[in-house]
Amino acid sequence: MKAKEEHAIILDFLPHGYPLDKRPLHKKTAIAQAIGKSYFVLLELVPKRGQFLKPHEEVYIGEGKRDKIHHILGRINVSRLTETAKAELNYVIEELVKKNEKKFVDFFNIAQPINIRMHQLELLPGIGKRHMQEIIEEREKKPFENFEDIKQRVKLIPDPEKLIVKRILQELEGKEKHYLFVA
């Protein structure tokens, strides 16, 4: 089953399409670059005629009637993002991680080994065997409640939120073998 996004956050809006598009102006369409709220999928969207979208605006892109989006052109790569979209990406991901704190704290509580040599926790930037062991020992005593709880109980991890954001960005760049958060 392929992950389907229902909502997306606008990263950049190009009312006259891409500047390097050589087609005449009347054939160009407005383009929005966005990131899905649930699975962090980077998308290219075509808004309905007359719609003006703003960065950080949430739009509905699921099945059924959409109020602002005409159709989804498809997925795009980080390298195809405009400079504005790239600049907003980090900030938007940080916001999404904050808003969905429970989902990411649950990851720390339920992460499992991938194979006999590697654990899902080790896929987070800066987490080695020692950190992983400390996280597992702490969560066995009592599940983590929030990011602050992780900071307090696992001394070697000053900012678990930043680890998640960094990992999502790495996955979006497509250089990872295992995906934890990006569909």
3-state secondary structure of 156: coil
**pLDDT per residue as tens digits for the range 10-27:** 999 999 888 887 887 777
**pLDDT per residue as tens digits for the range 72-114:** 999 999 999 999 999 999 999 999 999 999 999 999 999 999 9
**Whole-Å CA distances, 44 to 41, 87, 107, 127, 137:** 10, 16, 29, 33, 43
Q: Looking at domain 100-172, does it have CATH number 3.30.450.20?
A: no
**Confidence tier at 115 by pLDDT (50, 70, 90):** very high
Q: What is the DSSP letter of 113?
A: B
Closest to 62 measured CA to CA, from 37, 86, 84, 80: 37
Residue-range domain boundaries for the chain: 7-82, 100-172
> Which CATH code fits 7-82?
2.40.50.140
